[in-house]
Amino acid sequence: MFSFFKEEGKVNHAYTIAFYNLENLFDTKDDPLTLDDDFTPEGKKHWNYKRYKKKIKRLGSVIAQLGAEKSFHTPAIVGVVEVENRNVVNDLVHSKHLEKHHYDFVHYDSPDERGIDVALLYKKELFELLSSETFTLYLESENGDRDFTRDILLVKGNLNGELVHVIINHWPSRRDGSDITEEKRIKAAKLVLEIVGKINAETENAKIIVMGDFNDDPTSNSVKEYLVNDTFYNPMERLINTGKGTLSHRKTWHLFDQIIFSKNFLTIEPNKHSFKYAEVFDKEFLKVWKGKLKGSPYRTYIGKWYKGGFSDHFPVYVYLSKN
Domain limits, the chain: 3-322
Q: What is the mean pLDDT of residues 2-14?
A: 68
**Comparing C-alpha atoms, which of 4, 74, 10, 12 is closest to residue 323?**
12
Q: Are 127 and 157 in contact (CB under 8 A)?
A: yes
pLDDT-based confidence at 6, cuts 50/70/90?
low
Q: Distance from CA of residue 98 to its chain's centroid? A: 17
Q: How far apart are CA 88 and CA 86, in angstroms?
A: 6
Sign of CA dihedral 192, 320, 164, 157: positive
Could you tell me what percent of the chain has a pLDDT over 90?
89
CATH superfamily label, 3-322: Endonuclease/exonuclease/phosphatase (3.60.10.10)
Question: Residues 92-143: pLDDT tens digits?
Answer: 999 999 999 999 999 999 999 999 999 999 999 999 999 999 999 999 887 8
Give the pLDDT confidence score for residue 7 in this predicted structure: 56
pTM (predicted TM-score): 0.96
Tens of pLDDT along 213-258?
999 999 999 999 999 989 999 999 999 999 999 999 888 999 999 9
Q: What is the pLDDT of residue 1?
A: 41
Q: Give the pLDDT score at 318.
A: 98
pLDDT band at 2 (very low <50, low <70, confident <90, very high): very low
Helix (H, G, I), strand (E, B), or coil: what is residue 224? helix
pLDDT at 140: 86
| pLDDT in the model for residue 86 | 98
Q: What is the pLDDT of residue 5?
A: 57
* Per-residue pLDDT at 65 exceeds 90: yes
Is the confidence at residue 58, as pLDDT, over 80? yes
45-49, 249-253, 292-296: range with lowest mean pLDDT: 249-253
Q: In terms of Cα–Cα distance, which of 189, 257, 244 is closest to 18?
A: 257
d(CA 96, CA 196): 36
Strands 162-170 and 208-213: parallel
Of 214, 145, 131, 159, nearest to 14 by C-alpha is: 159
